Structure 1
Amino acid sequence: MPTDTNRHDLIDTPLQVLMVIESSNYFNRVDSLQFDLFYQRLQNSIHKTISKHRGKEKHLKTNIYLVTFNSVDDAISCALKIKHNAKYVTPSFDSSYKILNIGINSSKAKLVDEAIRMATYYCEVVSGDIVISSEVNSIYQDVHHNPKLNKDKIRSLKPREEDFLKRLMSFVEEHWNDSQFSVTDFSQKMGFSNSQLNRNIKSLTGLPPNSFIKKLRLQRALKLLYNRKGTIANVAFETGFNSPTYFSKCFSKQFGILPSTFLKQNT
């Protein structure tokens, strides 16, 4: 989650359009210090596209960018162009290069932290390559007199989905790494029946609750291993897995590589 203390300097007007871009660069390295040629091309393409669409860019983490725009048009056009270009600057035989998620939100200066947080959830949690908030969609519709965005390329969240996402992640952030955490606990504490919770989470993320939690744990475990924040066993227990062996099995199934191999490649 972005925590850069200087990100407020990106907000210089009452309303800004915020874009969070998350790329998967964990597997595309020549060695621990150098990205391969295809990933470098992808990054160069992203930078050029942002500049062309008058975006103001800040590199928050190795694979996360925060960009601000003065118009919704620029933000949406930029996102579509970034996704389009990724098809041509990366190899067709390896889909890992194309794991590129974009979240677009809007914010007034005083609420920028929350807006960035939600845009990051759009990238990490919501199913869809480009996810935009209901407010961004509303602004776009007003400017263009109600045109229809391509639903295959852009997912526009409804206000009720945004409210559910906010509630969901507020709860999940407290309990995601608890190995005793169950779907029944999940539903009861959030005030839903199991079937209601399943329906809402699956609609938002494309996954049932158990799979959603497991995927989130594995994503965070991946980041910990990438940043060398512990041994495989330590990371397994820290992210809510009861067994390093089971963790390795799940990791391999999710990412196509054993955590031990991944560590060696990034040492």
Structure 2
Amino acid sequence: MPIYMDRHDVSETVTAENVAQLHQQDLKIQHKFGCRGLTYWFDEKRKTAFCLIEAPNEKALIEMHNQAHGQVPHQVIEVEASIVESFLGRIEDPEKAQNTNLNIINEPAFRTIMMVTIENHSFKSFDPFAIISNVQQVYKQINAILKSFNGNIVQQNEDGCLISFRTVTEAVLCALQIQENYRIFRTQYQINFTELSIGLHAGLPVTDKKLIFEDTIKLAQRMCFISAAEVVFSNDVRLLFESENVGEVLSGTDLHTLTPAEEKFLNGLMEFTEASWQNTELKVNDFEKNIGISESKLYREMIRLTGKSPNVFLLHFRLRRSLQMLLKQKGNISEVAFDSGFNSPSYFTKCFCKKYGIKPSELMR
């Protein structure tokens, strides 16, 4: 049976005890609708509640809430239990709340999400598979660092490492520790032709999007394309960190905090790029039209944030994706070239060789 997570935005007067009582009313009648309430989260500060419910469909869930107490959810998304547990740490009531007359849970679902990527810039003079293997070893070292900061791995693959934290402070301190240790890892694992990127954003699990933490994850991932610094924070992360640590300011070598305007630009740029990068007819002026800014401003902003002109940015984005396809054995050279937005396999091979120092065919062995 599907599992759903819903979001309730409650009034300022609602308390954790009130939410627990509403949850109990759900449990009393849930059988009538074929539902099973698994657990919930309540954030007293942000006045949001999130219910995790097994239900035959979204309609049954809403009808159950409506009959139980009339507090229907503002948003509902379908989720996977394992993913919820990775982000939020549990899919049932916490132990301290079990076996009591009224399970009062006052635990926010708000999380800080970190994306860590290590990009290979060159395989020249090195065994590419050895380098890739060494990068995976670095990710394992990063996993060990997380334990000290209560970080939880949500996903780890060739794109990088996605991590969830309960507090902004723990996430920021962990990012700084990873940044510090990375210099040691580069020497230890012989990965000098790599670049570390860390993006940090914070948010709620259910918004108007279809996936859990979708907005938060996307911005954290997109921050890894910022070349202005190794570690990039969203404006929300900066504000929350400085409110949790009075007198502390997020500044330092290879650190950058995005302004709201920069976040808007980055999201617009990446949304269009992610949707159009495979189009072989894509031109730079298509970026201008879709993002809604002039050619000169597009160029200035992209150089300032990504360190690349629009043409170079698109080329490197395509090559980065093509590298992933080659490593996954997704087609032959020609297929990968066309799937990556290149008109010509020979031109693709030339560009790939110039960036990575080896021919694509060397990764197909």
Match in the other structure for 1:49: 145
Q: What percentage of residue pairs aligned between the two structures are identical?
A: 30
Residue 152 of structure 1: how far off its partner (Å): 2.2
Distance 1:241 1:180 in 2: 9
Of residues 164, 187, 194 in structure 1, which corresponds to 2:288?
A: 187
Match in the other structure for 1:110: 206
Tell me the TM-score normalised to structure 1 length. Answer: 0.86
Distance 1:184 1:162 in 2: 21
Q: Is the 8 A contact 1:45 1:85 kept in 2?
A: no
Match in the other structure for 2:27: none
How many residues are aligned here? Answer: 257
Match in the other structure for 1:197: 298
Aligned residue runs from structure 1 range 88-237, under 5 A = 88-91=184-187, 94-96=191-193, 98-111=194-207, 112-123=213-224, 125-127=225-227, 128-237=229-338
Judged with a 3 Å threshold, the aligned counterparts in structure 2 of structure 1 residues 143 and 44 are, in CA distance, closer, same or farther, namely same
**Partner amino acid, structure 2, of 1:190:** I
Larger radius of gyration: 2
Distance 1:40 1:246 in 2: 30
Match in the other structure for 1:255: 356
Structure with greater contact order relative to length (CA < 8 Å, sep ≥ 6): 1
Alignment deviations for residues 174-227 of structure 1 (CA, whole Å, 9 cap, x no partner): 221212211122212332221111112222211111111111111111111110
Match in the other structure for 1:11: 88
Judged with a 3 Å threshold, the aligned counterparts in structure 2 of structure 1 residues 141 and 218 are, in CA distance, closer, same or farther, namely same
Q: Give structure 1 stretches of 5+ with no counterpart.
A: none
Q: What's the secondary structure of 1:155's corresponding residue?
A: strand
**Partner amino acid, structure 2, of 1:8:** V
Judged with a 3 Å threshold, the aligned counterparts in structure 2 of structure 1 residues 82 and 235 are, in CA distance, closer, same or farther, namely same
Q: Give structure 2 stretches of 5+ with no counterpart.
A: 1-78, 90-107, 208-212
Residue 86 of structure 1: how far off its partner (Å): 1.9
Residue 171 of structure 1: how far off its partner (Å): 1.7
Distance 1:182 1:35 in 2: 32
Per mean C-alpha deviation after superposition, the further-off stretch among 170-179 and 214-223 is 170-179
Residue 63 of structure 1: how far off its partner (Å): 4.7
Higher percent of residues as helix: 1
Q: What's the secondary structure of 2:117's corresponding residue?
A: strand
**Partner amino acid, structure 1, of 2:362:** T
Residue 45 of structure 1: how far off its partner (Å): 1.9
Q: What's the secondary structure of 1:19's corresponding residue?
A: strand
Tell me the TM-score normalised to structure 2 length. Answer: 0.64
Distance 1:90 1:187 in 2: 38
Q: Is the 8 A contact 1:15 1:108 kept in 2?
A: yes
Q: Is the 8 A contact 2:201 2:233 kept in 1?
A: yes
Distance 2:174 2:233 in 1: 13
Per mean C-alpha deviation after superposition, the further-off stretch among 83-92 and 188-197 is 83-92
Distance 1:190 1:30 in 2: 37
Distance 1:239 1:214 in 2: 10
Runs of 4+ with >3 A deviation: 24-32, 38-41
Distance 2:240 2:88 in 1: 18
Q: What's the secondary structure of 1:230's corresponding residue?
A: coil
Q: What's the secondary structure of 1:95's corresponding residue?
A: coil
Of residues 159, 162, 185 in structure 2, which corresponds to 1:66?
A: 162
Judged with a 3 Å threshold, the aligned counterparts in structure 2 of structure 1 residues 83 and 136 are, in CA distance, closer, same or farther, namely same
Residue 250 of structure 1: how far off its partner (Å): 0.9
Distance 1:68 1:40 in 2: 19
Judged with a 3 Å threshold, the aligned counterparts in structure 2 of structure 1 residues 90 and 106 are, in CA distance, closer, same or farther, namely same
The answer as to 2:177 corresponding to 1:81 is yes
Judged with a 3 Å threshold, the aligned counterparts in structure 2 of structure 1 residues 210 and 24 are, in CA distance, closer, same or farther, namely closer
Alignment deviations for residues 49-69 of structure 1 (CA, whole Å, 9 cap, x no partner): 001111111234245222111
Distance 1:30 1:196 in 2: 38
Per mean C-alpha deviation after superposition, the further-off stretch among 53-62 and 131-140 is 53-62
